[in-house]
Amino acid sequence: MNPARRYTLTLSCPDRVGIVAAVSGFFAQHGGWIVEASYHADADTGRFFMRQEILADSLPFDGAGLSSLFAGLAREFEMEWQISDSAQLKRVVILVSKQDHCLNDLLHRWRNGELLVDIICVISNHDDLRSFVEWHGIPFIHVDMQGNDAVAKAAAFEKIAALYEKSRGDILVLARFMQILPPDFCRRHAGRVINIHHSFLPSFAGAKPYHQAYTRGVKLIGATCHYVTEELDDGPIIEQDTVRIDHGDSVEDMVRYGRDIEKTVLARGLRYHVEDRVLVCGNKTIVFK
């Protein structure tokens, strides 16, 4: 629940002999206690990916000191890298419409300390969930789209973008937000917007996936948490799951079963993201669980 303070280093670089030795040698030399270490060599790109968690108190310097020392090693191996500090909670903004099962699940995980983040605000194109959000002491912001009026919608998205940027949010979560983000929004915040789609992608992208699943007669339905890109429902997949249905299940039954996997898959995906467990490689993700 409240583990010791940690630095998390994530990096990628061209694969070669000696990367792990160099990085673990760097930490050993300074007495750094590594509590988690994960690696992946991507055969297609020839790149090497790494994630290390180090106890902050085991090092003789602070995060800035760590970064400036590590920079030399990183240059030598041509690393793209970042270090995050568990004492700096990730800043989360949540977008919702009217359905609240994912929101309810995320806020519960947040208030019982399972999801260690700052929730800056919840933004919605409807006012329905205000009371529930405000009960948590979290600001609720209503951006009116006036029944999907094009001008109102564009203005609403500008407001959302401004709010996200002003909040210095680390991640924008579409928690069953029933609107499609404008392309430039997606481009500008690549890797910083995650969505839960209520199908097992790539099956049933787009609108009404449970209806599509019902029509096709599949025997399991699914949910997919992915980074948002310009191409609808086509971004890098972080997490998925499926649940069994049968011929007796109506679309309404699927919606009900689906809620349980949507919220679980989104919660897992968000957790992986805020714990710096997800590294993007082309249109795929490496998830160091």
Residues within window 218-257 making contact with a second copy, judged by CB under 8 A? 218-220, 222, 236-242, 246-248, 250, 252, 256
DSSP annotation of 115 reads S
Binding segment for a second copy among 108-116, 154-162, 175-183, 185-193 (CB under 8 A)?
A: 108-116
Cβ-based nearer residue to a second copy, 116 or 141: 116
Residues within window 140-199 making contact with a second copy, judged by CB under 8 A? none
User: Do the beta carbons of residue 221 and residue 244 sit within 8 Å?
Assistant: no
Query: Which one of residues 22, 69, 155, 161 is an interface residue with a second copy (CB under 8 A)?
Result: 22
Q: What angle do CA 85, 88, 90 make, to 5 degrees?
A: 105
Secondary structure element (H or E) that encloses residue 281, with its range? strand 278-281
Question: Is 15 marked active-site?
Answer: no
Residues within window 66-95 making contact with a second copy, judged by CB under 8 A? none
**Residue 54 — φ and ψ, nearest 5°?**
-125, 135
Instruction: Give CA–CA dist 158/266, Å, rounded.
Output: 25
Contact call for residue 45 and a second copy (CB under 8 A): no
Query: Which one of residues 46, 183, 202, 206 is an interface residue with a second copy (CB under 8 A)?
Result: 202
Cβ-based nearer residue to a second copy, 5 or 101: 101
Query: Which one of residues 37, 116, 180, 190 is an interface residue with a second copy (CB under 8 A)?
Result: 37
Task: Please name the amino acid found at residue 212.
Answer: Q
Instruction: Give CA–CA dist 226/36, Å, rounded.
Output: 24
Catalytic residue among 100, 105, 170, 233: 233
54: burial class by Cβ within 10 Å (0-12, 13-18, 19+)?
Answer: buried
Query: Which one of residues 4, 41, 71, 154 is an interface residue with a second copy (CB under 8 A)?
Result: 41
DSSP 3-state of 24: helix
Instruction: Give CA–CA dist 221/278, Å, rounded.
Output: 24
Q: Which of 146, 91, 137, 151 is closest to 115 using CA atoms?
A: 91
Q: Show the tokens assigned to 70.
A: 């590590």
Query: Which one of residues 5, 33, 85, 230 is an interface residue with a second copy (CB under 8 A)?
Result: 33
Which residues contribute to the site for a second copy (CB under 8 A)?
1, 17-18, 20-22, 24-25, 27-29, 31-35, 37, 39-41, 43, 58, 100-101, 104-105, 108, 112, 114, 131-132, 135, 200-204, 216-220, 222, 236-242, 246-248, 250, 252, 256, 259-260, 264, 281, 283-287, 289
